[in-house]
């Protein structure tokens, strides 16, 4: 197992990025490595971080502006080779179909429920780290 897992968090809202860090804690579940965060407040920063590599999972805020997480997700799925799995933060449960359209592997509603979020993130990390092993 690698020493850390790297999670990219994209939101134009610093409070949302904080909520993601708090819900994750040091690690989202037992048996997973500690998490390091790469925080991005703009879409160009997301692209730059993904091009550098080393990202295990992306958490994208569907309510970000001007580039919303759903559109960002769809674009990175088209443009980034071996794009990491994406956990999308959606505004309402009814937006789940948009998360599917964007090709996100998982979605949770905002405001963040720490238990639901940690379970979703842990599932994506387990899958990603198993593939890399």
Averaged pLDDT in 10-residue chunks for the chain of 133 residues: 86 98 96 97 98 97 96 97 96 91 96 96 95 72
pLDDT of residue 1: 44
92: burial class by Cβ within 10 Å (0-12, 13-18, 19+)? Answer: exposed
CA distances from 127 to 56, 59, 77, 132 (A): 10, 15, 17, 9
The structural domain count of the chain equals 1
pLDDT of residue 3: 86
Q: What is the reported pTM?
A: 0.95
Query: What is the three-class DSSP state of 124?
Result: helix
User: At 35, which CATH number?
Assistant: 3.40.50.2300
pLDDT of residue 133: 65
| Domain limits for position 46 | 5-132
């Amino acid at each position: 197992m690698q020493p850390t897992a790297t999670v990219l968090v994209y939101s134009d809202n610093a409070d949302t990025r904080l909520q993601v860090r708090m819900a994750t804690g040091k690690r989202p579940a037992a048996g997973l490595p500690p998490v390091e965060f790469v925080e991005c407040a703009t879409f160009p920063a997301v692209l730059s971080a993904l091009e550098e590599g080393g990202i295990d999972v992306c958490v994208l805020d569907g309510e970000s502006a001007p580039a919303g997480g759903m559109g960002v997700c769809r674009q990175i799925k088209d443009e980034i080779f071996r794009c990491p799995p994406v956990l999308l933060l959606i505004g309402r449960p009814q937006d789940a179909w948009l998360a599917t359209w964007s090709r996100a592997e998982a979605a949770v509603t905002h405001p963040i429920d720490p238990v639901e979020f940690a379970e979703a993130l842990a599932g994506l990390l387990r899958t990603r780290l198993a593939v890399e092993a």
